[in-house]
Amino acid sequence: MRARITAASALVVLAVIAGIYLFILPARRPGPPLADPALPDENVAGLTIPDFTLTTQDDRPFARENLLGHYTVLCFIFTNCPFICPAMTLNMAALADDLKDTPARFLSISVDPIHDTTARLREHARKIAADPARWTFLTGDFAVVRSIARDALGFDLEPDPNTPITLPDGSSMSNIRHPGHFILVGTRGEVIAFYRSSEPEQLRLLAARLRSLTKP
């Protein structure tokens, strides 16, 4: 019994020491340096945003050409989504604010063009105080949106009738399964990386990469 108590005590001491060590480490530990932050991650090598045309919240056409020459963080949302979208939008807003001194751009594409009209997206952008010069919201043909999310990027994008959503007017719609990632797009329309939008460490890595990519 005495030997068991001694061993247990040693484990407790080691755990306390490990906890203290972790506590005193800086909260934002830097990751390994990137040899070339513009080089696509291995898991997305060869992926690119296809040709498309959708419409902005200001009723202007927006095509793949509008991405060229900029580093852009892209995501898929819909304004009636009660699941991952509110957190995604808040995290995108925080990212945009953190990077407001850089030329990074932000793009949210609606997967629900039936309800997300340009007027609704315009109101949504106003509510979250999105800077229209840097953060664009798009809507348009669902087939076009699916060609980007599913066909080009390999994400699931389908209505989910088994999960109904009640709308403000009392009607309902099916949930829409869509990506929960932020997609970093390069200056030639190439995909550089996927980042999980719900993980703070992933968001820190994304912000650091964008700062490296956009520094003078």
pLDDT at position 78, please? Answer: 98
pLDDT digits (tens), the chain, 216 positions? 333 333 333 333 333 333 333 333 333 334 444 579 999 999 999 999 999 999 999 999 999 999 999 999 999 999 999 999 999 999 999 999 999 999 999 999 999 999 999 999 999 999 999 999 999 999 999 999 999 999 999 999 999 999 999 999 999 999 999 999 999 999 999 999 999 999 999 999 999 999 999 998
The whole-model pTM stands at: 0.84
Question: How far apart, in whole angstroms, are the C-alpha atoms of residue 197 and residue 66?
Answer: 23
pLDDT at position 2, please? Answer: 35
CATH 3.40.30.10 fits 42-214, yes or no: yes
What is residue 49's DSSP assignment?
P
Identity of the residue numbered 192: I
- Taking the CA atoms of residue 204, residue 85, residue 100 and residue 49 in that order, the dihedral angle to the nearest 10 degrees is 90
Tell me the three state secondary structure of residue 170. Answer: coil
Per-residue b or e along 82-109, where b marks 16 or more CB atoms closer than 10 Å to that residue's CB: eeebeebbebbbebbebbeebebbbbbb
Q: Cα–Cα–Cα angle for 20, 22, 28, nearest 5°?
A: 140
Going by C-beta distance under 8 Å and a sequence separation of 6 or more, which residues neighbour residue 162?
A: none
205: phi then psi, degrees, rounded to nearest 5: -65, -40
194: phi then psi, degrees, rounded to nearest 5: -110, 140
Which residues pair with residue 137 across a beta bridge? Answer: 108
Count of other CB atoms within 10 angstroms of residue 198 = 13
pLDDT at position 19, please? Answer: 39
Cβ(79)–Cβ(124) below 8 Å: yes
Cβ(145)–Cβ(157) below 8 Å: yes
Domain boundaries, the chain: 42-214
Q: Tokens for 214, please give them.
A: 């956009």
pLDDT at position 4, please? Answer: 35
